Amino acid sequence: MRFARSRILFGDDFSKLQDAKVLLLGVGGIGGFCLDCLFRSGLQDITIVDCDNFESSNQNRQIGSEAVGAIKVEHLKTLYPTVKALHQKVTKQWCEEFDFSEFDLVIDAIDDMPAKVAIAHKVHQKLISATGGAKKLDPTNIQLTSIWKTHGDALAKKFRYELKKSGFKGDFPVAFSPESAKCTDLGSFVGVTGAFGLAICSQAVREIIK
């Protein structure tokens, strides 16, 4: 039985996972592994949003990237058939206009800072966000904590700054790593970016069943 071992672990809470509605913004190196983890854990109602096509440069870290040239969300829907796919760019304006009300949980795995800030303003009560997974080698440095308690990560620092500048007063959990950057360009290692996605999935599952 497909979910037999999940049911052993989650018990009666497994039904909460199957009933949950999750919105996943961004299905790149972090978001793709988060999607895989959510799907394998028993979640069925997942909506994924991304505007990109797979490129050969994605193949070191992104699930589904063997389909070079394919629209990411449409190809991932063939791998995870219960998901809903929105081929759209997540911008500040998109976030301000999109109806988040039907979702129990929103996962932000995008890089666009104005959009990340707009998401936080709109749905911070049900938000889990990712900071930077690039340029790092050690997945054991990944932590889950309040956005205000992040440290040692350039993207998290920028995120905190932009939130404060925008007058944001709320709070939400983020995955971050204080590991020092190992390169200056956008190098990446699936052992870290994938682990970010799995850590966020774990946080999502725990929030759903708590």
Q: What is the pLDDT of residues 139-187, one digit of tens each?
A: 999 999 999 999 999 999 999 999 999 999 999 999 999 999 999 888 9
Q: Which of 121, 109, 106 is nearest to 61 (CA)?
A: 109
Which pLDDT belongs to residue 186? 85
Element (H, E) at 197: helix 190-209
Which pLDDT belongs to residue 18? 96
Residues 6+ apart with CB under 8 A from 95: 115, 118, 119, 122
Say if residue 50's pLDDT is above 90. Answer: yes
Which pLDDT belongs to residue 22? 98
Mean pLDDT of all residues in 105-128? 98
Identify the sign of the CA torsion 163, 165, 168, 169: positive
Mean pLDDT (the chain) is 97
Predicted confidence band of residue 1 (pLDDT cuts 50, 70, 90):
confident
In this prediction the pTM is 0.97
Predicted confidence band of residue 99 (pLDDT cuts 50, 70, 90):
very high
Which domains, from first to last, does the chain contain?
4-209 (3.40.50.720)
Cβ 82 vs Cβ 45: under 8 Å: yes
Q: Which of 192, 128, 179 is nearest to 152 (CA)?
A: 179
| Distance between CA atoms of residues 102 and 115, nearest Å | 19
